[in-house]
């Protein structure tokens, strides 16, 4: 039951109606008997500063941040975790007695899903990352922290790709990060062990495969971080019997890590997963 003592957290995004986070977190709070509620709030870009100020004014325990605010929210925060600082993107804010600390659980959640659920071993692996937006940034940082051999990076926006490549080179040895152009995609796919789609291509049923399906081969592991539908990339991977995963595991694990930051308790991952998969 919601009472005057109920602690409030939630998610800010625009649009937000598609978010599965409320059902995932509310199921977790219920399972652990915690008097917390999680709500989705539609925050337009021009209202972001006011919405972040309201976290303090209304004593929210924290919020998740999603598209399109993950990078733009940073100037309104008091402090950043090392992950948020390195990736330049925030997906979780923790209200520490009025001090708003930005964190990023996307990358760590991705790694947990890839290594624990999908049993991939990362040290020494060659990885191709498509997309250098909010999610791609935190995934790139986490991959490099897990001792991969080389990260090839492609974004249709060349400046966005270059900006992420420069930021990543500042936290690792320079030759570990290679920004590629469209012509470099086919040779890169041929060489790598892991292909990650961190672009929005595939979210709509009408979307094409994010890369030419002819290039896909059986030595790849393909991780598509989209979770709302089976993308053309995953359909092609399954057709060719290539090992693959969708973004549900990342979603659940990043949510579990945010939950733990707010509640200070181990997240009930199985409950959270069931709440969004049925
Ligand atoms: P974002 O900030 O908009 O970044 C996506 C980037 O991909 C943009 O730079 C975009 O460039 C680029 N891009 C678009 N088409 C491309 C293509 N064909 N090849 C290479 N790059 C391309 O989005 P985001 O927040 O990173 O999210 C990306 C996707 O991940 C979304 O579908 C989101 O739902 C999903 N996601 C999943 C999880 C999870 O837990 N599973 C977590 C976060 C995000 P332009 O902007 O120029 O098009």
Q: Kindly list the domain boundaries of the chain, sorted by start residue.
A: 7-104+253-277, 107-246
Q: Is the CB of 143 under 6 A from ligand 1?
A: no
Look at residue 174 and tell me whether its pLDDT is greater than 90.
Answer: no
Q: Write down the mean pLDDT value for the chain.
A: 97
In percent, the amount of the chain with pLDDT more than 70 equals 100
Closest listed residue to residue 179, CA positions, set 167, 193, 165, 196: 165
Q: Is the CB of 182 under 6 A from ligand 1?
A: no
Q: 69: which residues sit within 8 A by CB, 6+ positions away?
A: 12, 13, 14, 43, 45, 48
pLDDT reported for residue 92: 98
Look at residue 33 and tell me whether its pLDDT is greater than 90.
Answer: yes
Query: Where does the pLDDT of residue 278 fall: very low under 50, low under 70, confident under 90, or very high at 90 and above?
Result: confident
Q: Is the CB of 156 under 6 A from ligand 1?
A: yes
Look at residue 207 and tell me whether its pLDDT is greater than 90.
Answer: yes
Q: Which atom of ligand 1 is the closest one to the Cα of 203? A: 32
pLDDT tens across 46-85, in order? 999 999 999 999 999 999 999 899 999 999 999 999 999 9
Segment 110-115 mean pLDDT: 98
Q: What's the token pair of residue 212?
A: 């030419």
pLDDT tens across 128-137, in order? 999 999 899 9
Could you say which of 3.40.50.2300, 3.60.15.10, 3.30.565.10, 3.40.50.10860 is the CATH number of the domain covering 7-104+253-277? 3.40.50.10860
Is position 70 annotated as part of the catalytic site? yes
Q: Is the CB of 185 under 6 A from ligand 1?
A: no
Superfamily per CATH, domain 107-246: NAD(P)-binding Rossmann-like Domain (3.40.50.720)
Pocket probe for ligand 1: among 16, 68, 131, the residue whose CB has the most ligand atoms within 8 Å is 131
**Domain 107-246 in the same topology as domain 7-104+253-277:** yes
Segment 177-206 mean pLDDT: 97
Strands of the 79-80 sheet, one edge to the other: 36-42, 7-13, 62-65, 92-96, 99-103, 79-80
pLDDT reported for residue 218: 97
* Ligand 1 atom 17: residue of nearest CA: 156
Segment 36-53 mean pLDDT: 98
């Amino acid at each position: 039951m919601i009472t005057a003592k109920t602690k409030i957290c939630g998610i800010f995004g625009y649009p937000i109606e598609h978010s599965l986070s409320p059902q995932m977190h509310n199921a977790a709070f219920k399972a652990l008997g915690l008097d917390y509620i999680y709500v989705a709030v539609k925050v337009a870009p021009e209202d972001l500063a006011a919405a972040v100020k309201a976290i303090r004014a209304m004593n929210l325990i924290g919020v998740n941040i999603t598209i399109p605010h993950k990078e733009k929210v940073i100037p309104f925060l008091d402090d950043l975790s090392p992950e948020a600082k390195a990736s330049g993107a925030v997906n979780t804010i923790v209200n520490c007695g009025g001090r708003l600390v930005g964190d990023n659980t996307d990358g760590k959640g991705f790694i947990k899903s890839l290594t624990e659920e999908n049993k991939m071993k990362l040290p020494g692996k060659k990885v191709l990352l498509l997309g250098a937006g909010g999610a791609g940034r935190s995934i790139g940082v986490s991959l490099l922290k897990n001792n991969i051999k080389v990260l090839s990076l492609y974004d249709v926006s060349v400046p966005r790709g270059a900006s992420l490549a420069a930021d990543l080179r500042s936290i690792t040895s320079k030759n570990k990060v290679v920004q590629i152009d469209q012509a470099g995609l086919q040779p890169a796919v041929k060489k790598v062990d892991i292909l990650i789609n961190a672009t929005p291509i595939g979210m709509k049923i009408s979307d094409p495969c994010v890369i030419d399906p002819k290039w896909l081969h059986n030595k790849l592991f393909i991780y598509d971080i989209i979770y709302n539908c089976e993308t053309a990339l995953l359909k092609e991977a399954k057709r060719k019997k290539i090992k693959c995963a969708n973004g549900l595991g990342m979603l659940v694990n990043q949510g579990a890590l945010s939950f733990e930051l707010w509640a200070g308790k181990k997240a009930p991952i199985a409950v959270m997963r069931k709440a969004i998969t049925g």
